[in-house]
Chains A and B, each alone.
Chain A
Amino acid sequence: MQWEIVIGLEVHVQLATQTKIFSGASTAFGAEPNTQACAIDLGLPGTLPVFNSEALRKAVQFGLAIEAEIGKRSVFDRKNYFYPDLPKGYQVTQMDFPIVGQGQLEITLEDGSSKVIGVTRAHLEEDAGKSLHEDFEGMSGIDLNRAGTPLLEIVSEPDIRNAKEAVAYLKKIHAIITYLGISDGNMAEGSMRCDVNISVRPKGQAEFGTRCEIKNVNSFKFVEKAIHCEVQRQIDIIEDGGKIVQETRLYDPDKDETRSMRSKEVANDYRYFPEPDLLPVEIDDAYVQAIREQLPELPDAKIERFISQYQLSKYDATQLAASRLLADYFEQVVSACGQAKLAANWVLVELLGQLNRSSTELSDNPISAEQLGQLIQRIQDGTISGRQAKQVFEAMYQGEGSPDAIIEAKGLKQVSDTGALEAMIDEIMSKNPAQVADYRGGKDKLFGFFVGQVMKASKGQANPAVVNDLLKAKLQG
């Protein structure tokens, strides 16, 4: 049987505000437990929430970036359930009237094709705290620093059909939120988390299959892997004549499997109702317009510009525009060397490859854009060959200095001086009279032999183009 996979994503983005969504406590990451959980965050009796203006502004920015309807009147609701990391016994969220309504975004796939994924809505809510499971005499410890951090939950339509699309969608969201600067997008620190809803159905069937929700997947790679193993699990069950049970599951990256979450076994009745301690949020056209006018260049526009301004392929442009940091870096390299295509190549292949191999974030990249630009210039002006450039790049990455300094130190300059090369060629020809005679007799293939001898004599530093020209002239006699 042919199966079709149906995926919908709920992405939780922590908004990069200074303070919590409803309190004046700091949101800085990594503080000592409970030092950033104030009386409001703890839900102490008599405390009340007041809404953070910056959380609203950031949510509206996102809405405008995906061309969504902006909720002119949005309403906070209480979602009621008991859990130790939820101090008030309810989470303040938005149910019927979210701040961001229907929108969409376009993803680009590896083959260069693109697809539009619908965004159902995005709403504001407060984050929960964390349970720490290490043993405190048989107890768990609760850290509520994260409780009350503003989240934007972005809910997609079930438009995604495979893991690659899911990852492309997530990367696009990541690009948008980092371009806007509304979140640091740091998945390792939980600034962007993803719940994946997955079902399968026989190809051609109209109605959806029963779905499972995989909670809190926190990297692009894990999203891809989690989808693969959950899809396989569901197909196996159905093909064995079983039925999918709608449930919440966790992805275990160590075992590469998903498992049912015991804590969510009891069907919840969240008893949503409008939060009486907060009032409806009303915004006017002028407010929205002011934000619209201050939006930065967004990924789609940047991709278009990279294609037209630098004659890049759509795929390269998309890759470069995937993060604002990367795109800015690329443009700095271009301005340093004036070679857009070479710059794109070096950034996407050499630099990203090297960062990837050493598991380094772009933000910790040891090579400045100016230096990379200089390196490209040295290739362009013939100082070094492409092969040598890779050697220089390695050294730059290890922090050995600027390209020129490394070229100098390693003696990597190409020999393009015709006098020195002619002397070298003359000597080689006089040492190999038989080969010269054979070549002149029609054995063209021997040309490579002479090139090899020159490169050997020059210890690889001869400029191949110059060597070619000189050899041809001399061998013809």
Chain B
Amino acid sequence: MKTIEVKALSKTYGSILAVDRVGFTLEAGEILAVAGPDGAGKTSLFRSICGLVDFDGGEVRVAGLDVRTDFDAVKPLLGYMPEVFSLYPDLSVEENLAFYAGLFGLGGDAFRTRRERLYDFSGLRPFAKRRAEALSGGMKQKLALSCSLIHDPTVLVLDEPTTGVDPLSRKQFWDILAEIRAGGASILLSTPYMDEVGRADRAVFMDRGRFLARGTPADLVGLYNGKVFEAPVEVTGEQLRALRAGGTTAARVGATLRVYAARGADAGAVAAELGRAGVDAAGLRERQPGLEDVFVHLMGRRPEPPNGESPEEGMGGGGER
């Protein structure tokens, strides 16, 4: 069953085209991740879908209902968690949940049952009496998620829910999402983390208001049509500049150097390029491309600019905002 259907959606702000004729569907029990640079249009897309802003063209249906004409019927089906969620800092965890329940007319036993279920999900029960402002960042995000789930929506729209959240809390957050999905709800979310894109059922890379690529994480990785090499070496800035000046596309990734080469490239030739820039090529090996490699590639930017950088070319549409 399609829980979200978006057709040719466009959203402008004055002369800026934030979302440019985007279309997709989300199925029940599915997680769809959207990744893209700041200014790509992700938040505008999400707000349009949730009926929070009007859009200029196209159509959005949630569970078959038109968000424009049937908003009252759509509203209880949707759970929206904006990037900055409004928790009441001086209310406790429990009071925040009660407040959001009230907005949806949920009270009494129905509220208490739902609340206990959310405590099971989130692990927030021991902190029920703690004021929201005294929660850690990871717990605040879990409370915000719980508040957006209070009315048992079938479609969740989460705008960068894990930004600024530590790896353990992120893992726990995704365990919660997996349970929600198992319960049949569907989830649309945006994230700057490529490992989260890899955990979604399907994903979209978005830039300048458009979808550049979409598919399962494996489909997206398959879009990479070159070779990726990696050497366990920490290069200096001078070496990196020498590599780029010689025409090599290279980037520091963690404690390694990653080299992007054409499909026909072989390790020997890449090692020679590194050698000319004074980089130790010992341990150079080909590696499977990952989602991050595809993302960097698709955004139409080289991983590293050769000399300084040209913001117009480097920034994509965001530079115009």
A and B associate in one complex: no
A-to-B contact residues, CB < 8 Å = none
B-to-A contact residues, CB < 8 Å = none
